[in-house]
Each structure stands twice: as C-alpha cells, then as structure tokens.
C-alpha cells in the first residue's frame, strides 16, 4: 500500500512515517521544509519538497506513486500565533488543505487521515471529553482543523473518500530516532527538559490559580508512538469518523515538572508566571471510541515513560536535528 504523508518531516509525521515503514508500507513524504527537518525524514521514504497547496505537485505525486491513502499532518499548529495571524492559519491549513483533499478525491484516493486536535472543542463542559462534546474552538488554529473535518465529511458523502480525523490531546515523547524539535519551542515537556539540561535557567508556570488540585493546568499527555499507531489502525478500519486520542488521564504542570525531575535527576527552577491567554484549566480525553472502534490501546500511558523517551532523545540530540 502506498501512503502519502504530508508534513512527514515534522514531529508527529516523522514518527508515523517510521512506524509505517516498519510495517512495510511504501511512503512518500511531502513537506515544505518551512518547519520540518530533512534529517527527520526516514531514509526509506521518498521525500518531495513542496507545498500541499500546489495542485500540480500533489497530483504528480498521487499519479507517479500510485497513492492509495493520504495522512495529512502538514499544518501550522501554534495557538498563540493563530490568534495574531488568523489569515495565515486559514490560508495554510484550510485553503491549502482543501486543495490537497480535493486533488486526492479527484485522483480516487479512498482513505484520508487527518491530524486534528482537541482544540476543536474549546472550553470543555464535561471531563473526560467525548467526541460528542460540542465544538466551540477558542482560537483560529482549532477552528481551521474543525473546518477541515467538516469538508472531509462532505467529501465522504459526495466523493466516497473515507476519512478519519484524529483529535490529538498533548503529544509528547520520542522514538529512538525521531523527536520534538520546534523553533520556537512552546510545549511544556521539551521546555522543562531544556531547564533540566541548563539550556533554560527556569520554567515559567503559566498560572497556579486554576480550579485544579495544585492550581496548575491539567492536560492529557499521549506518546507520539501511540499517536502514530492510531493512524495505521485508522488506515485499516473501514468507514469514516472522528476519534479522540489521549490517555484519559490528566497531569498538572507541576506533576509534569516533578516527573522531569524524577527522570533526569535534576532540580528544575520554577517561576510562577501569569496565566497564558486561552488555556482551559483541564483537558482530558475520553478515548473509549478509539479503543472500541479502532482497537487502539496506548502502549506508553505512564508520564515517566513519556518524559523518559523525550529525555533520551534530547540527550542524544542536544541541539535537535541541527539542520536549519
């Protein structure tokens, strides 16, 4: 089976490509390399440097490599940036995503897997959050992903292109070979690990006055290999649908810092900072649907294991991929 992976040089894309190749799929990666890393592309994958918004580039790949299914990771994904520059998010995520989807449907691609997000829900009114929870995104990033999900629903109805939208909660961890290297880095675990290596002097905790047991925000962290495996299960499951991917267990910012201290053996300096705009107090997934319908079961549910793999990768790659 031939799979096109958009954004396969990025964090979650690179680990998914690795899993696909380990399971003998043939993989073509398209990546603009704006945020991706050449070194993150598995050597057994074919890399096309290009933009998913170019109909010709996408059509050539679909034809030349006889693509059966598309896994779509390529997107801008910073909540804060999306508030400052919504046009960028609607253009890159929605306009370019639509070109990709339309070209895939025109070329008879029968399966489309979308990297979506918990940010489609907005402020939750129920925990754990089921897929039936209302969608009320509080930022253009979440809105852009929700728009792609809606387009896919109609494409399925009219063109018969089956789709799976996977709403990730907080991706973290690393495989032996591929890990998280963002510039700028905004995610909690890599930032706390930078404080452990001394690259950062301290970690800012964005608010300790939330209505949670220790006052800091609670998130559902999920290992990147578990996310990758869900994509492959989705590839092999008939029908269309939307699934949450999380552990169903929440950890506070302070608990994450404590886990990093345990794993690394280093004391982390902490500064309490003001709340970050738009942060819900608690985001925890119900992944019952993915477990039941996709047969998905996280292999790395323990926070120490998740942090441990990220730490190993960071120690082996202190400057990340160093290819920029």
Q: Which residues bind ligand UFG (CB under 6 A)?
A: 77, 79, 117-119, 141, 170, 186-188, 191, 203-206, 217, 219, 253, 276, 279, 283
- Backbone phi and psi for residue 114, each to the nearest 5 degrees, phi listed first: -105, 130
Cβ at position 44, least distance to ligand UFG in Å: 28
Cβ pair 146, 153 in contact under 8 A: no
In the bound state, the residue with its beta carbon closest to ligand UFG is 217
Cβ at position 28, least distance to ligand UFG in Å: 25
CA atoms of 217 and 233, how far apart (whole Å): 31
CA angle (77 as vertex; 71, 83 as ends), nearest 5? 145
Cβ at position 230, least distance to ligand UFG in Å: 16
Of 21 and 83, which has the nearer Cβ to ligand UFG? 83
Q: 141 catalytic, yes or no?
A: yes
Of 262 and 272, which has the nearer Cβ to ligand UFG? 272
Does 313 sit behind a cis peptide bond, omega within 30 degrees of 0 on the bond before it?
Answer: no
**Residue 34: partners with Cβ closer than 8 Å, 6 or more residues away:** none
List b or e across 115-153, with b for residues whose CB sees 16 or more CB atoms inside 10 angstroms: bbbbbbbbebeebbbebebebebbbbbbbbbbbbbebbe
Cβ at position 162, least distance to ligand UFG in Å: 25
Give the residues across from 165 on adjacent strands: 114, 242
Of 49 and 304, which has the nearer Cβ to ligand UFG? 304
Of 85 and 204, which has the nearer Cβ to ligand UFG? 204
Options 141, 163, 168, 221, the catalytic residue: 141
Question: Any idea which residues carry the catalytic annotation?
Answer: 141
């Amino acid at each position: 089976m031939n799979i096109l992976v958009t954004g396969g040089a990025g964090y979650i894309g690179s680990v998914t490509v690795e899993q696909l190749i380990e399971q003998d799929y043939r993989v073509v990666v398209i990546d603009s390399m704006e945020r991706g890393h050449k070194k993150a592309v598995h050597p057994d994958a074919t890399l096309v440097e290009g933009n998913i918004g170019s109909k010709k580039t996408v059509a050539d790949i679909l034809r030349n490599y006889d693509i059966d299914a598309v896994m779509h990771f390529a997107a801008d994904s910073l909540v804060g940036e999306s508030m400052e520059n919504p046009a960028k998010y609607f253009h890159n995520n929605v306009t370019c995503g639509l070109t990709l989807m339309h070209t895939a449907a025109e070329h008879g691609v029968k399966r489309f897997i979308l990297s979506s997000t918990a940010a489609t829900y907005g402020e939750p009114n129920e925990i754990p959050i089921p897929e039936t929870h209302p969608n009320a995104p509080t930022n253009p990033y979440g809105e852009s992903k929700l728009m792609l999900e809606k387009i896919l629903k109609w494409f399925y109805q009219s063109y018969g292109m089956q789709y799976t939208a996977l709403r990730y909660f907080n991706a973290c961890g690393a495989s032996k070979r591929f890990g998280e290297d963002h510039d700028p880095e905004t995610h909690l675990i890599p930032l706390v690990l930078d404080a452990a290596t001394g690259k950062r002097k301290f970690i800012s905790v964005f608010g300790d006055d939330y209505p949670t047991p220790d006052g800091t925000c609670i998130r559902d962290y999920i290992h990147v290999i578990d996310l990758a495996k869900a994509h492959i299960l989705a590839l092999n499951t008939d029908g269309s649908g939307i699934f949450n991917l999380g552990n169903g267990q929440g950890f506070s910012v302070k608990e994450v810092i404590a886990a990093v201290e345990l794993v690394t053996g280093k004391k982390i300096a902490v500064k309490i900072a003001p709340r970050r705009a738009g942060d819900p107090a608690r985001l925890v997934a119900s992944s019952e649907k993915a477990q039941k319908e996709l047969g998905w079961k996280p292999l790395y549910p323990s926070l120490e294991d998740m942090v441990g793999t990220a730490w190993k990768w960071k120690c082996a790659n202190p400057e990340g991929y160093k290819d920029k």
